[in-house]
Structure 1
Amino acid sequence: MPLVIRPDDLSGDATRALVAAHLAGMLENTPVESVHALDVDRLTADGITVWSAWVDDELAGIGACKDLDRDRAELKSMRVAEGFLGQGIGRAILRHIMDDARERGIRSLWLETGSTDDFVPARRLYASEGFVECPAFPPYAPDPLSTFMTRTVEAP
């Protein structure tokens, strides 16, 4: 099944619903002060690009990248739809975002994810793609419920 990853303006019902499900999922297991997922309105802000991944006409996942400055960007709102878990969709989106960052001259990518067992698959994915744990980076403060990670992006 071919996977198509494309920029998304979050105007479609499917992507809006997956963003809402992502945020709701974060709030189910994490106190609100430790949830850093963005809602649809914040994901459409300047400096943030959102991609959606599609298999035929079905939404398989989303991912976003927020520019921090001209050399650094942050991964945001990575989520794979339930029916597509374990099929490599998250890795494909992550690699797509890394390729885009490389093409735009971004030198490092950063991310915040959860530190509890619920987030082990996410942390394993990021580590397998070269991300390493690091201290909290602005605008974050250290939080025992957060794991911060970064990696360099090779020049094209």
Structure 2
Amino acid sequence: MRIERIDPGLSSVGALLEESDQYMAALYPAESNHLESVDDLCRPNVALFGCFVDGELAACGAVKVIDDGEGRYGEVKRLFVGAPYRRRGISAALMARLEQRLVEAGVGVARLEVGVSQPEALSLYRQLGYVERSRFGAYGPDPLSVFMEKKLPSRESAAAQRR
């Protein structure tokens, strides 16, 4: 397994995002899907990472650094593992890399929105230390959404832990 920053315009990314879109459309109505487009993923405040297994793009996930009325935070977006690659720890590994990216950028809080019909994702996020919170950013009220956040270590403490 190899995780690295990737170009959102790659054809393999497009195919994986299409699979993600179909999966989410089967779970939620359109107004409850808050998916970033390829154009959104190309913005300078966004970093998209891919996980490769045997040379194939198996999963992806992005972080978006936001500075709004709530302060500076990172939002996890588009975390998705292709069906053949699930249950291998890829989501947790990708989340660790996304959080590392935020720490490197000096961001102290990671936030995310996840749907109520994704028990595996909710369980993973809770295991990783995310806690439920009120909605944030531009999200409106939605009974199908769960909003979560996790405090991240500072760059200095993260560097000390790696030593």
Name the TM-score, length of structure 1 as normaliser: 0.92
Q: Which amino acid aligns with 1:6?
A: E
CA contact (8 A) 2:19 2:82 kept: no
Q: Which residue does the alignment assign to 1:45? A: 43
Q: Which residue does the alignment assign to 2:94? A: 93
Distance 2:111 2:88 in 1: 24
Q: SS at the partner of 1:99?
A: helix
**Counterpart selection for 1:26 from 24, 27, 33:** 24
Q: Which residue does the alignment assign to 2:161? A: none
Distance 1:44 1:24 in 2: 21
Give yes or no for the alignment of 1:132 onto 2:139.
Answer: no
Q: Which amino acid aligns with 1:81?
A: G
Structure 1 residue 104 displacement after superposition? 1.4
Structure 1 residue 56 displacement after superposition? 2.3
Q: SS at the partner of 1:68?
A: strand
> Deviation digits for residues 58-111 of structure 1, max 9, x if unmatched?
111000001112731100000001111000001000001111111211100000
Cα RMSD between the aligned structures? 1.2
Distance 2:102 2:146 in 1: 22
Q: Which amino acid aligns with 2:144?
A: L
CA contact (8 A) 1:110 1:148 kept: yes
Q: Percent identity?
A: 31
Q: Which amino acid aligns with 1:101?
A: L
CA contact (8 A) 2:61 2:78 kept: yes
Q: Which residue does the alignment assign to 2:79? A: 78
- Which contiguous aligned blocks of 4+ residues in structure 1 show a shift greater than 6 angstroms? none
Give 5+ residue unaligned stretches, structure 1.
Answer: none
CA contact (8 A) 2:49 2:60 kept: yes
Distance 1:56 1:11 in 2: 21
Structure 1 residue 141 displacement after superposition? 1.5
Q: Which amino acid aligns with 1:48?
A: V
Q: Which residue does the alignment assign to 2:13? A: 15
Give 5+ residue unaligned stretches, structure 2.
Answer: 159-163
Q: Which residue does the alignment assign to 2:109? A: 108
Q: Which residue does the alignment assign to 2:149? A: 150
Q: Which amino acid aligns with 1:72?
A: Y
